[in-house]
Structure 1
Amino acid sequence: MPRTSQPGRTVSARLLDVLFAFEPGRSALSLADLVRRTGLPHATVRRLAGELTAAGALERRPDGRFTVGLRLWQLGTLAPLTEPLRNLAQPFLEDLYTALHQHVQLAVLEGHEAVIIERLSAPDAPELVSRVGGRLPLHCSGVGKVLLSHAGPRLIETVLSGELRRYTPNSVVSPAALREQIAGCRRTGAATVRGELTADAESVATRIVNGEGRVVAALSVVVRAKSVKPQAVLPSVIASGLGISRLLGWRPGVKIRGTDPDHH
């Protein structure tokens, strides 16, 4: 349910709700779309959208629909982690893509999900459920398992005690089985997922570590099921993850500390 109809919300909160109505798959919205997604009155949305457009945060297309404006996009690139990480990782993603011609993606932890911050995809690669800027579940995606495995105990317990959705018949939703996978991923730094999120896709993922030994992202290659043996892809993925980690300042011997301070 939209929260913007609640009384007492500030103008800035309502402006943010208009902006956050945009998301992957909904990058161009009409005024009616914004009204429906925010729950605000039509006149209020029209006024706020006009102000955001005048400021360059939104742009209005010839067909009347709104999109995220250039100034807002430029602001997003200043996020302290994602842009430097994307720039450093890009050559490694390109090399993996050139070698395998499959999906290659980079993701970070946000809340209880993995957010894709970069992806290179081949036209004949398996269709996936998300895209750049999209979110993946932690319990049944390759990058998600890596990020979950290196998270703190509180996040792990929250995820494992919550709803573990079964996306396909292969989805692992047993907390006990996931604990075993988490232990293995912590030990090796890598995870392999076979048809858990998308039935015809297999994912091989590894961690990316900064100079403090903290896991800041996960890198994965997603291939069509049974087209490539995961064991054949794994060394290249791990090597790429180590290469990116070195550029972030990590060196062998630095203890892996996980994604947040309560990791032990």
Structure 2
Amino acid sequence: MRTNDPGMSVLGRATRILGAFSETEPELDLGRLTELTGLPRSTVHRLAAELVDLGQLDRTDDGGYVIGTRLWELGEHAPVSIRLREIALPHLLALFAATGENVHLAVLDGHEALYVARLTGSASIPTLSRMGGRLPLHTTGVGKALLSTMDQASLVEYFTLPRERETIHSVTDEGDLRRELDVARQLGYATTRQEMTLGNISFAAPLPAIAGLPRGAVGVVTHLARGDASRLAPLVVRAALEIGRDLSH
């Protein structure tokens, strides 16, 4: 990371500050912000103060910074919130009621799956997903469902990128992944088995393409012992089709 790029705009530097926050570090002090952004401490101090005034950041009682509620409010105006998530929610609730398992709604963002909705219960198996979080495409059910919607040019670009092995069961070989995607297209849903978390199995189906929205997918994650494809896969496929139908209207 370049530390003091004179060509970077004020907006670019402010965006770098906002981008420093993460799930593992939701609160940052001035020193840590300076370290993560690579910007001069005086610049970070000045811009952070302006971002607080604008509601993009909030101050904590101990003097740290967190993402501001105004920034969250603005994010809720994004189409994936006010259009996709709100229309999908009744169908996600129905899928959760029918399965009792983790239910996910994700969209394709770059070369990752961005989770825009998540339903879980006390009996659901723990997962690494969270709303607003990102996970790899090749090791998640919704990710493979999204990959199955890509055209060949996009897949060629995707396969030039490194693919980490999250567990010993992760499929990283291009040929093996392509064969799995072919099967997913034929069945209408994708499956992962212990590829992101040991003991978990997932079933996910892509949403129909909708103008103005990124490609999306809905999925269920459960324990291997409860992973009955004949029961869960049709429920997931039906939910995806019903969400797509309502979105198209």
Q: TM-score, normalised by structure 2?
A: 0.92
Q: CA RMSD in A?
A: 1.9
Other-structure match for 2:89? 90
Deviations along 1:7-48, one digit per CA (max 9) or x if unpaired, are: 332211111101111233332222222112111122221111
* Cα distance between partner residues in 2 of 1:47 and 1:211: 42
* Cα distance between partner residues in 2 of 1:246 and 1:43: 52
Residue 16 in 1 paired to residue 15 in 2? yes
Other-structure match for 1:183? 182
Contact 2:107–2:214 at 8 Å: present in 1 too?
A: no
Residue 153 in 1 paired to residue 125 in 2? no
Other-structure match for 1:226? 225
The runs of at least 4 consecutive aligned structure 1 residues that moved more than 4 Å come to none
- Is the partner of 2:129 in helix, strand or coil? coil
- Is the partner of 1:56 in helix, strand or coil? coil
Other-structure match for 1:74? 73
| Distance 1:181-1:20 versus aligned 2 partners, 3 A rule | same
* Cα distance between partner residues in 2 of 1:188 and 1:4: 49
- Is the partner of 2:205 in helix, strand or coil? strand
Other-structure match for 1:34? 33
- Is the partner of 1:248 in helix, strand or coil? helix
Paired AA for residue 89 in structure 1: A
CA drift at 1:136? 1.4
* Cα distance between partner residues in 2 of 1:112 and 1:27: 24
* Cα distance between partner residues in 2 of 1:35 and 1:143: 35
| Distance 1:132-1:234 versus aligned 2 partners, 3 A rule | same
Identity of aligned residues (%): 38
Contact 2:80–2:116 at 8 Å: present in 1 too?
A: no
Other-structure match for 1:65? 64
Q: TM-score, normalised by structure 1?
A: 0.87
Contact 1:24–1:131 at 8 Å: present in 2 too?
A: no
- Is the partner of 1:245 in helix, strand or coil? helix
Paired AA for residue 166 in structure 2: Y
Deviations along 1:66-93, one digit per CA (max 9) or x if unpaired, are: 2221221121122233431000111111
Paired AA for residue 193 in structure 2: R
Q: How many residues align?
A: 248
Contact 2:3–2:40 at 8 Å: present in 1 too?
A: no
Stretches of structure 1 lacking an aligned partner (at least 5 in a row) = 251-264
- Is the partner of 2:170 in helix, strand or coil? coil
Stretches of structure 2 lacking an aligned partner (at least 5 in a row) = none
